[in-house]
Amino acid sequence: MARKIIIDTDPGQDDAVAILLALASPELEVLGITCVAGNVPLSYTTTNARKICELAKRTDIRVFAGCDRPLRRKLVTAEYVHGKTGLDGVELPAPTMALQDQHAVDFLIETLRTEPEGSVTLVPIGPLTNIATAMQRAPDIIGRIGQIVLMGGAYFEVGNVTPAAEFNIYVDPQAAEIVFRSGVDLVVMPLDVTHKALTTRPRIEAFRALGHIGEVVASWTDFFERFDMEKYGSEGAPLHDPCTIAWLIAPDLFTGRRINVEIETASELTMGMTVADWWGVTKRPANALFIGSIDDDGFYTLLTERIATL
Ligand code: BDR
Ligand code: CA
């Protein structure tokens, strides 16, 4: 039986690849896509999510609009990485499928209450505002979540948006704190692993050779890799968010360690830092499986094979 997931997202080219990978994978049943403000404002993320579903010819997927700003802080966006629309690259047609009327947070709460306990996995690949709001509003759902597999944070790699913090956690650290303290089984894909999932020319050309959808994916990676290559001097750009979906399909591609992770919410200097106790120095109980390494060739082979099926 396919594993039921809800993707909570702020697309974003790498979010888009994660969504395509999920839609291409029979091991997963996507119950819905909940959008949040992050890489770009909510009006763009909701439009982009529908464009991606239409690209994959999956107009049956329900897309929900969620929170348009973090719990307490002002929204910080990342157009400098993803472009004005968040999905710059080949321009996709405006979506014709409708956005659901229900708010994303209400959908999360209703689904977790109606599906069998422990059967739904949440996959947040943007700021954690929707998930934390649902937990605050309906604490009874917390024990019903099977697992949360999220992209966010960093340890050895430290920060990408400030010297101390990764973007998804930095944008809404209060939300991240709620999720990391919830007691739900967490799997975390930090920059330490996503920065090992780099695009290369042959990997991008393999996408491009797949036909229309592969060409679109190649145009996205071409667009955002210029930023990372300039910044890090790396050969390509990290495909952060698809690591979450790949872990659900092929966990053997990854290794990590169960550790305690706390979120900095007080100091402006280190706001949003994931204080990851990799060496177990605090004796605080582990609350997350923090992933550290990836078989990057296996990851790109999986991605290419699956996108070829769309
Ligand atoms: C994360 O931030 C966003 O820009 C990406 O989509 C990814 O979710 C990486 O820090
Ligand atoms: Ca994202």
Using one digit for the tens of pLDDT, what is the confidence trace for 24-77? 999 999 999 999 999 999 999 999 999 999 999 999 999 999 999 999 999 999
**Ligand 1 closest atom vs CA 166:** 10
194 and 239 Cβ atoms separated by less than 8 Å: yes
Taking the C-alpha atoms of residue 248 and residue 294, their distance in angstroms, rounded to an integer, is: 13
187 C-alpha to center of ligand 1: Å? 16
Q: Which of 2, 20, 24, 32 is nearest to 97 (CA)?
A: 32
- Tens-place pLDDT, residues 233-277: 777 889 999 999 999 999 999 999 999 999 999 999 999 999 999
Where in the sequence is the domain holding 185, given as residue range(s)?
3-307
Is residue 195 part of the annotated active site? The answer reads no
Q: What is the CATH number of the domain that holds 291?
A: 3.90.245.10
Residue 58 is classified by DSSP as -
**Ligand 1 closest atom vs CA 240:** 7
**pTM for the whole structure:** 0.98
Proximal ligand: closest to the CA of 171: 1
What are the backbone angles phi and psi of residue 294, rounded to the nearest 5°? -145, 145
Tally of domains within the chain: 1
What are the backbone angles phi and psi of residue 34, rounded to the nearest 5°? -105, 130
Taking the C-alpha atoms of residue 42 and residue 115, their distance in angstroms, rounded to an integer, is: 27
110 and 6 Cβ atoms separated by less than 8 Å: no
- Tens-place pLDDT, residues 113-135: 999 999 999 999 999 999 999 99
For the record, the structure tokens of 291 come out as 């992933």
Taking the C-alpha atoms of residue 118 and residue 81, their distance in angstroms, rounded to an integer, is: 36
Q: How many residues does the chain have?
A: 310
270 C-alpha to center of ligand 1: Å? 18
Residue 101 is classified by DSSP as S
- Tens-place pLDDT, residues 189-248: 999 999 999 999 999 999 999 999 999 999 999 998 878 788 887 778 899 999 999 999
State residue 228's pLDDT score: 79
